[in-house]
């Protein structure tokens, strides 16, 4: 069964491709060399499978970025009434991490989350805790 984490972001108007590249660049600048394989894209979305340190796609983490689209707006609207702070209403992008398999590399998840949070306002949500999800409760430190 897959586990899903959504990061609702205020990206400042970046496209999905620009957003994904910005996440990969920020992660690299912070010491996490994320490799993206199985890249796919469509109108206002981009996705791929992430690995760490040159491990192409074996981290059990699929990333998808939706930005500047009716779908991203609908994804935000779908949960906005459940988010207590109201910060989610300014989100213009959604970064979704779908984790599957028996060997999820939580360092990959942490790297994406920290990189995204370092650039943009982020409101996280997961399948189990809803908006009460906390990065430190989910994953171990990078070191």
Residues 44-86: pLDDT tens digits? 999 999 988 765 555 578 999 999 889 899 999 999 888 888 8
Q: What pTM value is reported for the model?
A: 0.89
Phi-psi region of 137 (alpha: psi -120 to 50; beta: other; left: phi over 0): alpha
Residue 33 main-chain phi, psi, to 5 deg: -85, 90
Q: Are the C-beta atoms of 79 and 70 separated by less than 8 Å? A: no
Distances from the Cα of 124 to the Cαs of 34, 57, 87, 113, 143, in angstroms?
20, 23, 11, 9, 23
pLDDT at 35 over 60: yes
Quick one: pLDDT at residue 41? 92
Q: Which residues contact 29 (CB under 8 A, 6 or more apart)?
A: none
């Amino acid at each position: 069964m897959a586990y899903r984490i959504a990061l609702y972001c205020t990206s400042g108007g970046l496209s999905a491709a620009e957003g994904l590249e910005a996440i990969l660049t920020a992660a690299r600048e912070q010491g996490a060399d994320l490799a993206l394989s199985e890249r796919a894209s469509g109108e206002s979305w981009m996705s791929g499978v992430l690995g760490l340190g040159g491990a192409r796609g074996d981290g059990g983490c699929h990333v998808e970025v939706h930005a500047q689209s009716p779908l991203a707006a609908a994804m935000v609207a779908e949960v906005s009434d459940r988010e207590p702070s109201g910060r989610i209403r300014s989100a213009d992008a959604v970064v979704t991490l779908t984790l599957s398999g028996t060997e999820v590399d939580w360092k990959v998840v942490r790297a994406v989350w920290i990189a995204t949070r370092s650039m943009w306002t982020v409101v996280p949500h997961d399948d189990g805790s809803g908006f009460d999800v906390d990065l430190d409760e989910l994953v171990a430190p990078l070191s």
